[in-house]
Amino acid sequence: MFVTKDRKLSTGSLIILIASTLLGVGILTGPRSITAAVDGFGGWIAVLLTGLLFILIAYAAAYLINMFPGENIILFGPAIVTKPINNTICFLYLLYFIISTALYSRNVADVMKLYVLDTTPTTVIIGSFLLVSTYTAVQGINVLIRLNMLLFPIIFGMLGIILVLNAGGEFNFTEARPFFVGDFLTYLNGMKSSLDIFIGIGIIYFLSVFLRTPEKTGYALSTGIIIVTLINMIIIVISLGVFNFASVQNIVYPTVELAKDIQLPGAFLERTESLFMTIWVLAIFNVVSVTQYTVSLGISQLFNRKRKLWVVWPLPIYFLIALAPRNIDEFFYWRSILSYVGFSFLLAIPLVYILIAKIRKVA
């Protein structure tokens, strides 16, 4: 059976792990999809509301995890909902992680091919990307934490530079206003399309075995969520001001265009988008390797297998799923479906498990 001798995830590293796994995901397309969903303005409110909702969910998840410190859903689940049911739920959740991870790597390939690597085949980009992330995921949680801590400041700093330079440059305050418009229904619509920024926090149900201070999980999760919420809100407002409410809905990757727009006097820094792309790939690399690790951990616990091998064996599955969407439209459709699936897992697990645990008095 699976036992951890040392608990490696401190509160600080959990904050960074969560922030950097959430940061890469919605950042490229968020301004477009959310602005389109709220039909113009108030996208930032939708993101803020979604962030608050996820803080509530995070505290619920933390409550569940706190009931069984040092365990994760696969270890404490059987006591609550019996082993077959728990294993089925976990297996489906892991399947969801596999599909979403595969789609992230597809996203990398699409964007890289469009902006930087024109003639490199998609298969090669996806393949090499997955090989590197697999290599990282094999190493285990220690390496992942260290890598996240290393990369997070770079990603964060790059985004900061882009936002500051744009805010000081082409940003037009009139285009970004009014800030408070729309009714609850439009916000709800916007929240639906900002779900996929945050659903990555589901990894905590599996990684909770490593928590050094389980009682601070809620705090750590919500801090990570707050960081990501703020960044996404600022990006939405700035891309509204730099483009405008109508134009931003027409640009497939508004954040890359923001990066492209930067031009310092004297041609000192041209082609900033290639720098930005590199760093964004690092961010997605974080996400993919952490979820790959989570999947391998889950499988090794469920079927009592060796973890390192089970990072490698699902590789063809990732690869095939990544190649499955035929075009970018289909890809976005898959992503939106997956975001609902992920959200329902995220929401249902703490609610159902806590309720049943209370009724059956397991603890």
Interface residue list for other proteins (CB under 8 A) = 41, 114-121, 124, 128, 131, 174-175, 177-178, 181, 243-247, 249-250, 257, 260-261, 263, 271
Task: Name, in order, each residue with C-beta under 8 angstroms of 244's C-beta and a sequence gap of 6 or more.
Answer: 172, 175
Q: Smaller CB distance to other proteins: residue 48 or 277?
A: 277
Min dist CB 47 to other proteins, Å, is 19
For 74, residues 6+ apart whose C-beta sits below 8 A from its C-beta are 2, 86, 87, 90, 206, 298, 301, 302
Listed residue (317, 360, 302, 354) closest to 59, CA to CA:
354
Closest distance to other proteins from the beta carbon of 356 (Å): 47
Q: Where are the beta strands (DSSP E) in the chain?
A: none
Residue with smaller CB distance to other proteins, 71 or 175:
175
CB of 111 vs other proteins, minimal distance in Å: 10
Minimum gap (Å) between residue 171 Cβ and other proteins: 13
Identify the residue whose tokens are 């922030």: 19
**Rg from Cα positions in the chain:** 20
Torsion angle, alpha carbons of 114, 322, 206, 199, to 10: 50
CB of 263 to other proteins, least distance (A): 6
Identify which of residues 117 and 143 has a Cβ nearer to other proteins in the complex.
117
Quick one: 6 or 329, whose CB is closer to other proteins? Answer: 329
220: nearest Cα among 211, 233, 231: 211
Round to whole Å and give the CA distance between 359 and 60. 17
* Closer to other proteins by Cβ: residue 121 or 160: 121
